[in-house]
Amino acid sequence: MDRHAHGTVHGVCCPLSSRHILQLRILTHPCSALLFGLDTTITATVQASIYTDLGEFEKLPWVGVGFPLASVASILLLSKANETFQIKWLIIGSLVLFEAGSALCGAAPNMNALILGRVIAGLGGAGAYIGYVSIVSRCKS
């Protein structure tokens, strides 16, 4: 295959054509939106088991509010970072942050750790979502 027949992604030769890269970028947006929305609303179905396992009923609303509150609070900063830095590394960093927050939620020994995990996951989720929106908006057909 001719090396120059392929597209480039961030200056790196990619075995996919430009058309396939555009299709992939467009498909990632709904997937990220689905995961972001799912993680925002997932606590509604598990609140009873969270209370049973961890107690501290007075902190239960923070489990549901932590993720969207951190997301909304960081959107402007993340949008500016996407203009300033390479989107690729911001998305990767955001996904790592999201996964770290999710892992903390899964291993939370108490309610405070669970809330902190939700906040960290919210920051990472917002960064990934804003990154994907930026990529789609920069695509040219």
Domains: count for the chain: 1
Tell me which residue range forms the domain holding 117: 3-138
Question: Following CA atoms 58, 44, 105, 93 in sequence, which dihedral angle do they give, to the nearest 10 degrees?
Answer: -120
Query: Tell me, what DSSP letter sits at residue 85?
Result: S
pLDDT at position 106: 87
Contact 25, 136 (CB under 8 A): yes
pTM strictly above 0.95: no
Task: Tell me the pLDDT tens digit for each residue of 106-126.
Answer: 898 999 999 999 999 999 988
Task: Tell me the pLDDT tens digit for each residue of 65-89.
Answer: 888 899 999 999 998 888 888 888 8
